Amino acid sequence: MALTLEQLNAAPAEQAVALLDGLYEHSPWIAAAALAQRPFQSLAHLKHAMVQVLAQASAQSQLELIRAHPELAGKAMVAQSLTAESTNEQNKAGLTACTPQEFARIQQLNADYNARFGFPFILAVRGPRGTGLAKQEIIDSFARRLANHPDFERAEALRNIHRIAEIRLNDKFGYEPLLGHDVWDWQEKLSAHTDPGYAELGQLTVTYLTDAHRACAQRISHWMRDCGFDEVEIDAVGNVVGRYHPAKESGKYLLTGSHYDTVRNGGKYDGRLGIFVPMACVRELHRAGKRLPFGIEVVGFAEEEGQRYKATFLGSGALIGDFKPAWLDQQDADGITMREAMQHAGLCIDDIPKLQRDPAHYLGFVEVHIEQGPVLNELDIPLGVVTSINGGVRYSCEMLGTASHAGTTPMNRRRDAALGVAELGLYMEQRAAQDGDSVATIGMLQVPNGSINVVPGRCLFSMDMRAPTDAQRDAMVQDVLAKLEEIALRRGLQYQTELAMQAAAAPSAPAWQARWEKAVKALGVPLHRMPSGAGHDAMKLHEIMPQAMLFTRGLNSGISHNPLESTTSDDMQLAVDAFSHVLEQLAAG
């Protein structure tokens, strides 16, 4: 019989510890210490209480916990001496049915890993959805993590231990994150569509108005109809728009959504999570026959990434009247203009101006998005409330010195363009860190026609600087440009800078950020506020209506724009629950 929170909260301490037995391998002390935080308002609350206990434990205690775990497909499995929980997990992942070649490979990886780190490889083999990773995924993860720094790998082992405990806790309570599973499954199914040249490699790439892109739009529109949306259309730029009507025709709408295009060889959750989370909420409203005082408009934005054409935020830009006609003449790598691609897709270009939304008809805009960074993952917190989308500037730059012989030019006589840029890069690192939440990057650095025996006389480079407010960003930019001037003067160099892009910061509307915060607290999840370093569709809608965002934790160090991008169905469920709570707050007035 499944355990309940009421039982756990009411049980005497010794009995409560027994009820949670087996969550952490041979380590009941974690659950015992976490029980001091009773009563728990949710499973998420209990899970984080245990995360906190382990975070506050000594390094030695953490290491002993890691070493209490068995090797994957190791001696304990062969000797059938695994705990019942570990046996179940390794069975689900197929590790008890390895081929001789797979078994030999895993044994070698076990040996190499133990030699490098001094503890066994820990992986939540039931995976992000709880149904089990494929054996090849396990082997690939094993091999990849061998290259990690020991301190990072120890932390990664602990994160996987918490994921193992989360799944075991779900089993004890008979809990399934059903809506999280649905959101997960929609994203998995949508990832079957990918552009030619990438499909053959098993890579996900969906760029604007390709066959795969149009197939994604059709599939999303069909799912929206299945969820009970009253109106579904693919608009004049390829956005998929679903509208769930309010209780009264005069009601305003809550606007939400994100993009369904991807970068090349990207991940499955960037953007798409923000379409499917509100879709799940609308479906539950429809199933319950419930209408709210306001309607819900979910938009799958057709383009945000700027991969096929230079234009970015094309989908959300059209909704604020910022679709530039000159974009239609941009060409892709095959010489196909955007106009031709839109005509081929059957889109009505003349209708684009009609897509502009009147903010008077809307309450505001909210967006759910995977974090695309390591912060929530390292904190072991499932959700983050966004305070602001960083404002950013980009420069294309050139540094000029004098090319000279690397062997005969003394160090104090050189006018080395590359070292000038290198010095600038180190300053940018220090200057951004000074703010705490600014970032600065030289992402491109090139010595044209460089040679191994020539002091660089010319260097091309980029600068990307971002901060949560325009004032903070501008102060950093001013300091960096002043440092560039100082470096060039001191080193006898010349330089040129060209402003390539400038985007204003988009602070979250306080009332809307507060709604996300209230929702997160109601779930028993710790509240973490954070800026968004990446740009999002929300920053376009910010120009005409209030907006606020919610982040979900990413796995694999929070990596994004990468096939390793991932998050769990448990975290997706929490995002659905938080979104539903925001809807309830709005309905209550």
Q: Is the pTM of this model over 0.85?
A: yes
Please count the other Cβ atoms lying within 10 Å of the Cβ belonging to residue 437.
17
Taking the CA atoms of residue 337, residue 339, residue 340 and residue 345 in that order, the dihedral angle to the nearest 10 degrees is 130
What CA–CA distance (Å, rounded) separates 578 from 518? 9
Mapped onto helix, strand or coil, the DSSP state of residue 468 is coil
What CA–CA distance (Å, rounded) separates 125 from 182? 20
Q: Rounded to an integer, what is the distance from CA 367 to the centroid of its chain?
A: 13
Query: What single DSSP character describes residue 354?
Result: G
Nearest Cα neighbor of 25 from 71, 91, 94, 93 is 71
Mapped onto helix, strand or coil, the DSSP state of residue 547 is strand
Task: Give the pLDDT score at 97.
Answer: 80
What CA–CA distance (Å, rounded) separates 492 from 498? 21
Task: Give the pLDDT score at 76.
Answer: 62
Q: Confirm if 118 and 110 have CB atoms less than 8 A apart.
A: no
**Long-range contacts of 191-197, Cβ-Cβ distance < 8 Å, separation of 24 or more:** 191/268, 193/219
- Phi, psi (rounded to 5 degrees) for 450: -65, 155
Q: How far is CA 42 from CA 37, 92, 205, 363, 490, in A?
A: 12, 27, 38, 30, 61
Task: Give the pLDDT score at 75.
Answer: 66
Q: Confirm if 443 and 464 have CB atoms less than 8 A apart.
A: yes
What CA–CA distance (Å, rounded) separates 200 from 223? 26
Low-confidence ranges of the chain (pLDDT < 50): none
Q: Rounded to an integer, what is the distance from CA 397 to the centroid of its chain?
A: 30
> What proportions of the chain, in percent to the nearest 5, are helix, strand and coil?
50, 15, 35
